[in-house]
Amino acid sequence: MSWQEVRGHDRQFEWFRQQYANGRLGSSFLFIGPAGIGKRTFALKLAQALLCENSAESSLVPCQGCSGCQQVAALTHPDLLTVARLKDKSGVLISQMVGDEKHRMREGLCYEISLKPYCGGKRVAIIDDADEMTGEAAAALLKTLEEPPPDSIIILIGTNRQKQLPTIRSRCQIIRFSPLGRGDLSELLVELGLAQNPQEAQQLAAIGNGSVERVKSFIGSGVLEFRNEFFFKLANPATLLTELTSLVNQCVDEAAEDVPTDQKSKAKRRRMRVVIELATEFFRQLVRELVAAPSEEDEQLVQAIDLAVRQWPGDVETALACLDCCLEADVQVQQNANQKTLVEAWLDRLQTLSRTEDSMALPLS
């Protein structure tokens, strides 16, 4: 079993354990990795270990039974400070760091972390959504990071180090977290009740990219059903371009339903990238099958690949060209290419490649 049931991040735990045991644990950390992979869970478990009343010296293994552990779990421990973007705001605000204009440096995380620990140990601050700190909030936090209070631990949680000010990055130890493995994610989905059975969990994990948050965004969205139909249409050379284009556009457009007007374009781009990722997964697995190196355990994908191999008119180079075409399409999405034009050009190119022996992928236009 992973450290305190925190899945997939044993390497990070071991690093913290060694640093703590050797008395070299720093005061400021920046957790970096995709959303929904357990960084906040790890940070809270670390806080629980540091604030545990019964933890063995330097073990970083919380007992989970003492009042300290229970208070951290309930987010009520007086020495645990947490900050995140407010639901109706676009970012973490300066008032959350140093109080509003009437209470500057008498409220907020920077003030609270400067106080002595209430329970005689450490104070732990966790800043979620650190990517979305306003410039003022980041500047206020920087002053605290430059001179961290004694017995304090500050953890920033983000997705990309480039989204943090260079001055903040330079004052934090950067801890990188990788996406969860498909097995860990599948088991976690069952434990969290996000999948009804192991088979559904495996299907969701296959499109989850190691992220629980990503899976949550797909539940009830029809993406899983789309994935299965999309794979078999890609595998069948008789599929009409108009049929495939209509299927993809419908999936992308559905992502913008019930979304505020100013967020519709962003929602469609995210869904378009998901669709391209699915096609990339399909052709990557096709390449593996053609070189006799199958490794995929997903039933729907395996069946679709079996169908594709039986009818595939090209060779491995053709499949690689299709894979390159998908990767190029993803770049185009990130450059805000027109959705309808890109979908048609991308799918037309895939069909042209898969129906001829020409394996040279031409640029999308």
pLDDT digits (tens, 9 = 90+) for 163-218: 999 999 999 999 999 999 999 999 999 999 999 898 889 888 888 889 998 898 88
Task: Tell whether pTM > 0.85.
Answer: no
Distance CA 187, CA 338 (A): 38
pLDDT at res. 356: 63
For the structural domain made of 3-176, what CATH number should be given?
3.40.50.300
Check: CB of residue 269 under 8 Å from CB of residue 336: yes
Closest CA to 130 of 95, 164, 171: 164
Could you report the per-residue pLDDT of 206-263, keeping only the tens digit for each? 888 899 988 988 888 888 889 989 999 999 888 999 999 999 999 999 999 888 888 8
pLDDT at res. 284: 92
Check: CB of residue 285 under 8 Å from CB of residue 296: yes
pLDDT at res. 363: 47
pLDDT at res. 2: 66
pLDDT tier, 121 (very low <50, low <70, confident <90, very high otherwise): confident
Check: CB of residue 197 under 8 Å from CB of residue 177: no
Could you report the per-residue pLDDT of 315-358, keeping only the tens digit for each? 899 999 999 999 999 999 989 999 999 999 999 999 898 876 44
Locate the domains of the chain by residue range.
Answer: 3-176, 220-354
Distance CA 33, CA 31 (A): 7
Closest CA to 30 of 182, 154, 193: 154
